[in-house]
Amino acid sequence: MNAVFKREFKSYFSTPIGFIVLAAFYFFLGLFFSLIYQSGSPDISMVIMAMSTVAVFTMPVLTMRLMSEDRRQKVDQALLTAPVKLTGIVLGKFFAALAVFALGFAPTVIFEIIIASYVSVNVMSYIYALFGMLLLGSALIAIGMFISSLTESSVISAILTLVINILVLYMSNFASMINVSWIATVVEKAAFISAAENFGESVLSVPDILYFVSISAAFLFLCVRSLDKRRWA
């Protein structure tokens, strides 16, 4: 797993992908922080949670080549026949993408220090929001990896991932269109944004943590099964 992690992490910065994703994150983080700073609010968690929309559009770029590129270049067979477990391959790629995603929030540490130099800040609020965003990111990455494992085309993978990301994050907006009340409630609660916002409100909810962890684990498992199917094809 370590070898796969190192290879994938380095590949993000041997191509423009890693720089594009981080540039997008840093630009919008700076923009949101500027707005919060001018408003006089000491709550950096608002900046972090606002990045959920940015994550929807950057995750497809981060994950589109994770599995499909190996398949397109025909190097996947070397990985599939190597004396390593498929789980290790998938987890190595997953943690490489998650590491880049986490780097995207590095400036928030500086933002928190800047605010703390002027007013008293709620550090736990910042930690909860950051933790929630990392959980959200892990779920989106796992979904993107599974989709990437189904096709050789990075473009198709990116488009499908973007569509799915928008649906799972904001499907609570469609709950009002559903006439059956219990289904509408399920749809509203299942939306990623509903769970993520709880962290932004300094609510450390075990069900929300388990929800994101379960989604991540489920799609990583499906990704492993997708690779296993190709191994024996």
Q: What does the pLDDT look like over 86-106, one tens digit per residue?
A: 888 899 999 999 999 999 999
Mean pLDDT for the stretch of residues 35-63: 87
Q: What is the mean pLDDT of the chain?
A: 86
Q: Between 51 and 119, name the one with better pLDDT.
A: 51
Q: Which domain does 140 fall in, by range?
A: 2-231
What does the H/E/C string look like for the chain? Answer: CHHHHHHHHHHHHHCHHHHHHHHHHHHHHHHHHHHHHHHCCCCCHHHHHHHHHHHHHHHHHHHCCCCHHHHHCCCHHHHHHCCCCHHHHHHHHHHHHHHHHHHCCCHHHHHHHHHHCCCCCCHHHHHHHHHHHHHHHHHHHHHHHHHHCCCCCHHHHHHHHHHHHHHHHHHHHHHHHCCCHHHHHHHHHHCHHHHHHHHHCCCCCHHHHHHHHHHHHHHHHHHHHHHHHHHCC
Q: How many domains, in total, are found in the chain?
A: 1
pTM for this model (two decimals): 0.90
